[in-house]
């Protein structure tokens, strides 16, 4: 028996090592490994003193080197730091500022491999205030009733009465505090307004979004001088000033930190006085509200060749406010973004001289523009475009649920065909998930967070998913969706989709370079500390970070393996019941993601940021885990009802499958094949486990959205419902009510026809016969007639005489 003890001790030691790493005791794991080696030698009966002392030395050295920090720093950390210095990418000021902007929230938990689900469930997002709800029920509803989106499309601008209403009701000053005359809305209040207006008119929504997004008002609030705030904020809140923000250039789009626009510090004579100021030259494009703007927020590179400010010659990116009437400003031309007629155009400045106090923040703001922009985007990116994307999904759900009930082919509502049922399920599942992510992220912002990585996730992945949802809706409506006119409900939404995907950081860039590129450093518990310690030559800080990192990797390797072998069953769930399995799935995926991410960083080093296919897939995994987490939070926040369970299951199953596929893609393409094979063994020891939502689950989701079901209403609270006589959604809603009311009567008639009680070859003939034989009453006949008439009208499309057609706007 004694002969079996060495392998037993070794195997037992390995299990103890894994268990200690899994429980988070990495240093003890190293000491126990050394002790196991000594014990294995002792029981093996080896007589050689040399072998004994070699084993003792191994055990003692392992314990000393890894357990005694001063010795570890001298023998290991100092040399490791030198090695890391050669591996890490050189970080410029713009990258450093971008990384330091904002903060980390739930993304840090997902990156850490062991998310604290109780923390997520205990988090209570701020609800709408009474004033915010009153604004939505009052001015927002009034605005939507005032707007005719088809006519805006034809006129190529909002009508004067809509512009006046926006200004009078302070729509352009939602984020400006009440002390300056604004509304002072929260993130969720701001988002709710954008969501509802977006379901009525994209052009109107964009007009409201831009002054409340990244631009002069937000920059002034955070960085402006008191004089600048007192002058501009009341005027912006009242709409007396219309702002725009000029950032994008022909040569600086995604690389916005490298503008070609310049400002030279110089002196000039203004009204007979010598003035210290800036001479600006710029060429900007894609600037929303530029054609009608009265004040231009401008980003440019500030240069001081004569040292008039007493500092460096190149002061860096700077933001300033330029009045429209300033000499040398060329403004007013329009771009035509996908035919959506919001105001957007180029701005050119030639030898524009402004005083130095035009810089946001005054002289102290010189060179701080990039920091200002990154700080504001960290939170601002989470609101406008994600709200518009979630609103588009809600709107598609509302339209498709009604249309697939009303529209019939082969004597059946088209929603009953499996080919239609499949995209309806996607629309419903995505809508539930997207709005969950919108609400959760706004909640984080309202709680004081500036979630830079999460804001990038919701911007990129909600607008991309919007494209999928709208495409599915277009396919379901088919010919009715592609024929333009007042009756068309989806065509103008479809046209606008690429705009949201492109602006505020194109999604291709956001996915590969921001979500993971920043997330790998910001959200990881040790990487940023390691990088700053290496940059500063701080051995003690580096030692703490690198060995904490090693412990972190070992712990996640053990967790990923055990959770993979158990199918996630060893993971803890904060609740019991049908949602518990989803918590366990995402905990398992979080551990697998953390390990895969660390292996990718370790094997690719500084070249990882150029391997955008790898970083893009890692971003996908992180994003889908967040979207799944948001769905879980929504489900429990809304009371964990049985009615919402199919939507939760669909969302979580889709998100888990997408995250697993993304990690599989990383490991399939990781250049270091031995490292990839080892990581795959640890993270997916039994292979890939997750599949897309089943047909059966998809059918549950889809069918709950048909026949005027409560789920369709519950998923679309932010959709504006027009008057019943209005062409488009208003008439569709009214028709749905009539069709649903007629369904039991139609069933009575069809049952009578099948049983042979009445004769005929068409439904109209059956109805006539059923009336004669008193199968249905006169009142029931009237219900059927009204429903049939309304149905025929609702499925019609617009047509134009040749003269009218020739003058249609694109």
Residues with active-site annotation? 504
Q: Do 581 and 563 form a contact (C-beta atoms < 8 A)? A: no
CA separation (Å) from 778 to 121, 753, 781? 55, 18, 5
CA distance 320 to 325: 15
CA distance 481 to 461: 24
In sign, the C-alpha dihedral spanning 611, 617, 623, 629 is negative
Give helix 216-223 / helix 226-238 axis angle, nearest 10°: 150
Alpha carbon distance, N-terminus to C-terminus of the chain? 88
Instruction: Give DSSP secondary structure letters for 190-227.
Output: HHHHHHHHHTT-HHHHHHHHGGGSTTHHHHHHHH--HH
Q: How many residues does the chain have?
A: 810
CA distance 750 to 768: 12
List, as own/partner pairs, every contact residues 126-135 make where C-beta atoms lie below 8 angstroms and the sequence separation is at least 24, other chains included: 126/186, 126/188, 126/443, 126/446, 126/447, 127/188, 128/186, 128/188, 128/189, 128/192, 129/186, 129/189, 131/183, 132/185, 132/186, 132/188, 132/189, 132/192, 135/183, 135/185, 135/189, 135/193
Cβ neighbours, 10 Å, residue 327:
10
Q: Do 589 and 659 form a contact (C-beta atoms < 8 A)? A: yes
CA distance 131 to 565: 52
List, as own/partner pairs, every contact residues 131-139 make where C-beta atoms lie below 8 angstroms and the sequence separation is at least 24, other chains included: 131/183, 132/185, 132/186, 132/188, 132/189, 132/192, 135/183, 135/185, 135/189, 135/193, 136/192, 136/193, 136/196, 139/165, 139/169, 139/171
CA distance 567 to 574: 17
Structure tokens at 215: 């631009």
């Amino acid at each position: 028996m004694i002969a079996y003890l060495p392998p037993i001790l070794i195997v037992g030691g390995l299990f103890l090592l894994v268990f200690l790493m899994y429980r988070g005791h990495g240093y003890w794991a190293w000491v126990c490994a050394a002790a196991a080696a000594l014990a294995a030698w002792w029981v093996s009966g080896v007589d050689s003193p040399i072998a004994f002392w070699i084993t003792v030395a191994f055990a003692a050295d392992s314990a000393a080197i890894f357990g005694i920090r001063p010795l570890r720093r001298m023998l290991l950390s100092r040399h490791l730091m030198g090695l890391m210095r050669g591996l890490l990418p050189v970080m410029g000021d713009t990258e450093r500022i971008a990384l330091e902007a904002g903060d980390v929230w739930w993304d840090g938990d997902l990156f850490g491999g062991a998310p604290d689900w109780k923390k997520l469930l205990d988090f209570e997002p701020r609800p709408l205030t009474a004033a915010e709800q009153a604004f939505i029920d009052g001015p927002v509803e009034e605005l939507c009733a005032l707007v005719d989106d088809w006519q805006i499309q034809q006129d190529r601008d909002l009508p004067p009465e809509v512009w006046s209403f926006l200004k009078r009701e302070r729509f352009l000053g939602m984020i400006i505090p009440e002390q300056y005359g604004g509304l002072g809305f929260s993130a969720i209040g701001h988002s709710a307004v954008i969501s509802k207006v977006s379901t009525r008119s994209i052009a109107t929504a964009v007009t409201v979004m831009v002054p409340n997004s990244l631009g002069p008002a937000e920059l002034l609030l955070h960085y402006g001088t008191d004089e600048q705030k007192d002058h501009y904020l009341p005027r912006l809140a009242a709409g007396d000033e219309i702002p725009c923000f000029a950032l994008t250039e022909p040569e600086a789009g995604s690389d916005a930190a490298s503008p070609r626009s310049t400002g030279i510090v110089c002196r000039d004579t203004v009204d007979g006085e010598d003035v210290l100021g800036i001479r600006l030259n710029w060429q900007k494009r894609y600037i929303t509200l530029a054609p009608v703007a009265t004040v231009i927020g401008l980003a440019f590179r500030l240069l001081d060749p004569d040292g008039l400010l007493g500092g460096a010659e190149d002061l860096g990116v700077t933001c300033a406010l330029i009045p429209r009437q300033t000499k040398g400003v060329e403004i007013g031309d329009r771009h035509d973004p996908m035919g959506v007629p919001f105001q957007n155009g180029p701005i050119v400045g030639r030898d524009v001289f402004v005083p130095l106090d035009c810089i946001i923040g005054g002289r102290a703001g010189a060179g701080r523009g990039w920091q200002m922009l990154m700080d504001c985007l960290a939170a601002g990116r989470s609101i406008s475009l994600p709200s518009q994307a979630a609103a588009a999904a809600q709107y598609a759900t509302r339209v498709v649920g009604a249309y697939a009930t009303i529209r019939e082919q082969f004597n059946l509502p088209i929603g009953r065909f499996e080919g239609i049922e499949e995209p309806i399920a996607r629309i419903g599942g995505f809508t539930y998930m997207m709005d969950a992510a919108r609400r959760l992220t706004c909640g984080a912002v309202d709680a004081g967070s500036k979630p830079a990585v999460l804001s990038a996730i919701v911007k990129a992945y909600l607008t991309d998913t919007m494209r999928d949802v709208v495409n599915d809706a277009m396919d379901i409506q088919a010919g009715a969706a592609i024929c333009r006119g007042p009756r068309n409900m989806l065509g103008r939404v479809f046209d606008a989709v690429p705009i949201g995907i492109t602006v505020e950081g194109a999604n291709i860039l956001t996915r590969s370079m921001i979500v993971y590129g920043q997330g790998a450093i910001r959200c990881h518990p040790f990487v940023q500390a390691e990088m700053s310690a290496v940059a500063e030559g701080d051995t003690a800080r580096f030692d703490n970070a690198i060995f904490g990192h090693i412990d972190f990797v070992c712990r996640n390797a053990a967790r990923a393996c055990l959770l993979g072998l158990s199918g996630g069953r060893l993971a803890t769930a904060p609740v019991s019941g049908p949602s518990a399995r989803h918590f366990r799935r995402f905990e398992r995926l979080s551990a697998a993601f953390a390990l895969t991410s660390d292996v990718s960083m370790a094997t690719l080093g500084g070249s990882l940021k150029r391997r955008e296919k790898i970083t893009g897939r890692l971003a996908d995994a992180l994003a889908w885990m967040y979207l799944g987490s948001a769905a879980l939070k929504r489900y429990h926040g809304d009371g964990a009802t049985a009615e919402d369970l199919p939507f939760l299951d669909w969302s979580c199953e889709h998100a888990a499958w997408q995250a697993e596929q993304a990690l599989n893609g990383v490991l399939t393409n990781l250049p270091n094949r031995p490292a990839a094979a080892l990581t795959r063994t640890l993270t997916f020891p039994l292979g890939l486990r997750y599949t897309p939502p089943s047909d059966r689950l998809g059918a549950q989701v889809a069918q709950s959205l048909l026949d005027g079901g409560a789920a369709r209403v519950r998923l679309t609270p932010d959709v504006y419902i027009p008057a019943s006589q209005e062409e488009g959604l208003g008439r569709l809603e009214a028709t749905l009510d009539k069709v649903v009311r007629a369904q039991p009567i139609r069933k009575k008639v069809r049952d009578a026809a099948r049983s042979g009680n009445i004769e005929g070859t068409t439904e109209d003939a059956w109805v006539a016969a059923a009336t004669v034989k008193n199968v249905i009453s006169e009142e029931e006949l009237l219900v059927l007639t009204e429903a049939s008439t309304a149905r025929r009208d609702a499925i019609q499309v617009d047509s134009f005489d040749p003269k009218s057609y020739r003058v249609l706007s694109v």
